[in-house]
Amino acid sequence: MQVRKEKPLYIKLSEAILEKYRHLDYYSPLPGERELCEMFHTSRPTIRKAINVLEKEGKIIRLQGKGTFYVGDESHVDHQMNSIIGFYNDVKLQGKITNSKVLLQNVEPASKNIAEKLEIQEGDLVFHLERLRYIDGELYSLTNSFHPMEYCPDLRKVDFTERSLYNTLEEYGIHLSKMRQTLEVKAANAYEALQLEINEGDSISVWSSITYDTDNRIVEYVQVKTQAYKTKYEIMVYNDKPHNDKTKVF
């Protein structure tokens, strides 16, 4: 007869904490260690072990100087950084459903900043598409993309509610080749907070990309803004040094 091993106390406690706070909204603060000790009638080391379990499972996050926050039932999106397939295809491959709310779809003169990113002249015409992107019905990002009209078709009449921008560009003969990307975290301004349904000053991730086609022309500059803890990025780093190279690596 097999003897069933009882779960350690800290595992039971982690499950109890999760059950108690499962109803909370994404990124809601949890009580501090002392309050949790009193609530669950246990010691601080046990509480810490339980919190560590929840953190490893991705149910909570801890921010130094700010506290512990519940993120357990929020859908995170995994992105691999060595692939150009676009948001629509990326999400679809993960078995999720995506759609968009188009906020702006217009042809306009390029500002100085956009012209520098696209390496065109200030005032040259660009196609500007601003969208709120949703995953399985939940708001995910605020996305602004800019495309030089010299290379790209006029896409004002295309319905991008459920259509992929990258797939559309491919249909028009624009084949994407490479992408230069940067990531920063900043405080949301009033407009970003309004669109992302967060508070002004909350942290957001800003992913900026410049995309080239197979003729090495810049065909897109895009900024994707999300709540800072909604996305996990996977980056593959390669060693370019030949196997027989004896150069010291520091």
Residue-wise pLDDT for 7-21, tens only, equals 889 998 988 988 888
Report the distance separating Cα 123 and Cα 125, nearest Å: 6
CA 210 to chain centre: 17
Q: How many CB atoms lie within 10 A of CB 132?
A: 17
Count other Cβ atoms within 10 Å, centred on residue 92. Answer: 14
Distance CA 241, CA 250 (A): 13
Check: pTM over 0.75? Answer yes or no. Answer: no
Q: Is the confidence at residue 224, as pLDDT, over 80?
A: yes
Q: What is the CATH number of domain 77-234?
A: 3.40.1410.10
Instruction: Compute the distance between CA of residue 176 and CA of residue 220 in angstroms, rounded to an integer.
Output: 10
At residue 153, what is the residue type? P
pLDDT(244) > 50 = yes
73 vs 180 pLDDT, higher one: 180
Domain span(s) for CATH 1.10.10.10 in the chain: 9-70
CB 134 within 8 A of CB 98: yes
Q: What is the 3-state secondary structure (H, E, C) of the chain?
A: CCCCCCCCHHHHHHHHHHHHHCCCCCCEECCCHHHHHHHHCCCHHHHHHHHHHHHHCCCEEEECCCEEEECCCCCCEEEECCCCCHHHHHHHHCCCCEEEEEEEEEEEECCHHHHHHHCCCCCCEEEEEEEEEEECCEEEEEEEEEEECCCCCCCCCCCCCCCCHHHHHHHCCCCEEEEEEEEEEEECCHHHHHHHCCCCCCEEEEEEEEEEECCCCEEEEEEEEEECCCEEEECCCCCCCCCCCCCCCC
Taking only the tens place, the pLDDT of each residue in 131-187 is 998 887 888 889 999 999 988 877 888 888 878 888 888 888 888 888 888 989 899
Q: Which fold has domain 9-70?
A: Arc Repressor Mutant, subunit A (1.10.10)
CA–CA gap between residue 103 and residue 88 (Å, rounded): 17
pLDDT (0 to 100) of residue 125? 95
pLDDT exceeds 80 at position 113: yes
End-to-end CA distance of the chain: 57
pLDDT score of 250 more than 50: no
Model confidence at 73: pLDDT above 70: no
Average pLDDT over every residue of 215-228 = 92
CA distance 221 to 107: 14
